[in-house]
Amino acid sequence: MKPKIVVERLLNPKRLERIQLREQEAHISFICGMLHRGYTPINNIGDGNCVFISLAQIVVGDTAKFQFMRQMIVRRLRNFQTKYDDG
């Protein structure tokens, strides 16, 4: 299949609409599955702080405290660097 034809098919508005609908349905299904298992979905902006945001929710019950959590983990890693070295 020629690249131009592939691009035209991908840019077809009806095809894009169907893809977006499937993605939304998959996301809703994923969230429902998490809730059913007793997990709490947490929205984040994907800036690399997701682990700290999740840990803040688990440890202190507040995602807004993720910066504090990050500082504490960095401090621990620096203070006990030899414990966490690969070598």
Domain ranges of the chain: 1-41, 42-87
pLDDT score recorded for residue 29? 94
Global confidence as pTM: 0.58
pLDDT in tens, 3-52: 665 556 666 778 888 888 999 999 999 999 989 999 888 887 888 898 99
pLDDT in tens, 49-85: 989 998 999 899 999 999 999 999 999 999 999 998 8
pLDDT score recorded for residue 14? 83
- Under 8 Å between Cβ of 69 and 52: yes
